[in-house]
Amino acid sequence: MNQGNVDAPVVVVIGGGFGGVAAVQALANAPVNVVLIDKENHHLFQPLLYQVATSVLPTSNIAFPIRRIFRDQTNAYVFNDEVVSIDCAARRLTFINDRCARFDYLIVAAGANSSYFGNDQWEQFAPGMKTLDDALIIRNRILRAFEDAEAETDPEAMREHLTFVVVGGGATGVELAGAIKELSVDSLSKDYRRFNAKNARVILIEAGDRLLPSMSARSSHEALKALQKMGVEVRLTQAVTQVDEHGVTVNGETINANTVVWSAGVKASSLGASLGAPLDRNGRVLVEPDCSVINQPHVFVIGDMASIKCAKSGKLVPGVAPAATQMGQFVAKIIADEVRAGSTVRKRKQFAYLDKGSMATIGRAKAVAEVAGLKFHGLIAWLAWLFVHLILLVGFNNRILVFMSWGISYISFSKGSRIISGNPPSRVVSPVGSRAGDSPEDRRKAVAELLQRV
């Protein structure tokens, strides 16, 4: 273990996502102490969260202990704690337990949460999917819905158990809707006696006029076609006006569904509000072209929390992993250069986002991808998606295990992580019979009730 340099400046990084990890890594050779703080102990590969939610992957395959990443980076210190406010002028952070810490430079990379556009009461009925625990909650709800359907004697209630609504037609919504349909068709179809899981209804609702709005119209069309062919019911230009325990209301129609998942929007971490800088309507901090907070050159905001325009296109830099990574590396270089030069007043470069393309997977051998102006779909796009996601996963072991899980899942049509845990059952219904009396007729009825749909 090295002897830390007490006199070197302290760079604090809040958040161990793609942006924060990239920044700490890029500071490896700078004459600074880097302190990374995250309220979780793991870096999360969010692009594969939907595979945890649909029982394809176990949680540990897409999460990696943050401190393990920096095991050999001797100027990096990792703490598992939560920052609740930031005082830019005093260069001070306050933690959830009221203690505080000082920094010389700060990089805020705390990411985003689900946004319900002012209807936060919808969250309990339609959880979003941003953390590992979110994905487990959704996995439990999906699996529990099938269990409840098997135990249900009322046909209408059974249909509600077997109706799954995904709100929001971006990449997450498209991938999740496809994966739920695939789970029901491929993996569950032989496992239930009283209904055919293939007939589970999966509805994807998008308020705009096409899926995957950040991609081309052609990719949107291919995604729509592929989902419809799989049996997903896609509803475009339909806005959700109500979400409650019965389901969702969309264009005045009520869809009764026991499982609703929200992927319609995100808002930046509330930490941005304590920076004293202007925010956009999604809570993102309007930063300078160098990603620093206005009038606070030693404080940077990156990743999903930053509102910054591409110099070339004039469009907002999207809230995706490559953008966060690039910003992290960009601000780390500014800091390293300035610390080495002993000055913070140099003219800084402007952040330039390099768009490496985007992709979304829809199902077995089905995906859409756009790279360098080229558009792919089908098997080629799917293979590209598999390859890119395996490469970007942190940890060699995770790559092997995810590859194995995918291989097994592809070959055997089964999902390995169909485990309900960590949450109490949402509701308990009785499997066999009603409040049976003691007569032989009652007894026969109880059994018949169990078997009538077998």
What is the rounded CA–CA span in Å between residue 177 and residue 175? 6
C-alpha distances (whole Å) from 220 to each of 169, 172, 242, 370, 441 are 10, 14, 26, 11, 57
Name the CA dihedral angle for 197, 199, 204, 210, rounded to a multiple of 10 degrees: 130
Nearest to 363 by CA among 226, 200, 261, 164: 226
Q: What share of the chain is helix, strand, coil (3-state, %, to 5)?
A: 35, 25, 40
**Under the criterion CB under 8 A, does residue 439 sit at the interface with a second copy?**
no
Q: Which residue lies nearer to a second copy by CB, 100 or 217?
A: 100
**Under the criterion CB under 8 A, does residue 406 sit at the interface with a second copy?**
no
Do 32 and 9 meet the contact criterion of CB atoms below 8 Å apart? yes
**Under the criterion CB under 8 A, does residue 219 sit at the interface with a second copy?**
no
Q: Which residue lies nearer to a second copy by CB, 54 or 219?
A: 54
Say how many Å lie between the first and final Cα of the chain, rounded. 65
Residue type, 350: Q
Catalytic residue set? 175
Q: Which residue lies nearer to a second copy by CB, 379 or 404?
A: 404
User: What minimum distance in Å lies between the beta carbon of 156 and a second copy?
Assistant: 18
**Under the criterion CB under 8 A, does residue 413 sit at the interface with a second copy?**
no
Q: Which residue lies nearer to a second copy by CB, 59 or 85?
A: 59
**Under the criterion CB under 8 A, does residue 419 sit at the interface with a second copy?**
yes
Return the half-sphere exposure (C-beta side, CA atoms, 13 A cut-off) of residue 208: 12
**Under the criterion CB under 8 A, does residue 454 sit at the interface with a second copy?**
yes
DSSP single-letter state for residue 237:
S
**Under the criterion CB under 8 A, does residue 435 sit at the interface with a second copy?**
yes
Residue 14 structure tokens = 């809040």
Binding range to a second copy, per CB under 8 A, among 173-181, 231-239, 307-315, 403-411: 403-411
Name which position in 216, 256, 270, 414 contacts a second copy (CB under 8 A).
414
Stretch 311-350 residues interacting with a second copy (CB under 8 A): none
Name which position in 198, 346, 356, 443 contacts a second copy (CB under 8 A).
443
**Under the criterion CB under 8 A, does residue 433 sit at the interface with a second copy?**
yes
User: What minimum distance in Å lies between the beta carbon of 321 and a second copy?
Assistant: 19
**Under the criterion CB under 8 A, does residue 84 sit at the interface with a second copy?**
no
Name which position in 25, 85, 150, 207 contacts a second copy (CB under 8 A).
150
Q: Which residue lies nearer to a second copy by CB, 107 or 327?
A: 107
Name which position in 25, 28, 81, 344 contacts a second copy (CB under 8 A).
81
Please state whether beta strands 247-250 and 374-377 pair in parallel, antiparallel, or not at all (unpaired).
unpaired
C-alpha distances (whole Å) from 8 to each of 27, 299, 414 are 13, 17, 53
Tell me the per-residue interface mask from 89 to 128 with a second copy, x by CB under 8 A, - otherwise. Answer: -x-x--xxxxxxxx--------------------------
Binding range to a second copy, per CB under 8 A, among 209-217, 245-253, 311-319, 421-429: 421-429
Stretch 358-387 residues interacting with a second copy (CB under 8 A): none
**Under the criterion CB under 8 A, does residue 35 sit at the interface with a second copy?**
yes
**Under the criterion CB under 8 A, does residue 61 sit at the interface with a second copy?**
yes
CB within 8 Å of 272: residues ≥ 6 apart: 108, 110, 279, 283, 284, 285, 301, 305
**Under the criterion CB under 8 A, does residue 431 sit at the interface with a second copy?**
yes
User: What minimum distance in Å lies between the beta carbon of 158 and a second copy?
Assistant: 14
**Under the criterion CB under 8 A, does residue 289 sit at the interface with a second copy?**
no
Q: Which residue lies nearer to a second copy by CB, 172 or 417?
A: 417
**Under the criterion CB under 8 A, does residue 151 sit at the interface with a second copy?**
yes
What is the rounded CA–CA span in Å between residue 96 and residue 406? 39
**Under the criterion CB under 8 A, does residue 244 sit at the interface with a second copy?**
no
Return the half-sphere exposure (C-beta side, CA atoms, 13 A cut-off) of residue 336: 16
Binding range to a second copy, per CB under 8 A, among 74-82, 244-252, 279-287, 370-378: 74-82
Q: Which residue lies nearer to a second copy by CB, 347 or 396?
A: 396
The secondary structure element, H or E, covering residue 321 is helix 321-341
The residue to which tokens 């002993």 are assigned: 342
Please state whether beta strands 285-286 and 306-307 pair in parallel, antiparallel, or not at all (unpaired).
parallel
Neighbours of 77 (CB within 10 A): 17
**Under the criterion CB under 8 A, does residue 191 sit at the interface with a second copy?**
yes
What is the rounded CA–CA span in Å between residue 102 and residue 94? 9
Q: Provide DSSP, 384-432.
A: HHHHHHHHHSSSHHHHHHHHHHHHHHHHH---TT----SS--S----SS
**Under the criterion CB under 8 A, does residue 3 sit at the interface with a second copy?**
yes
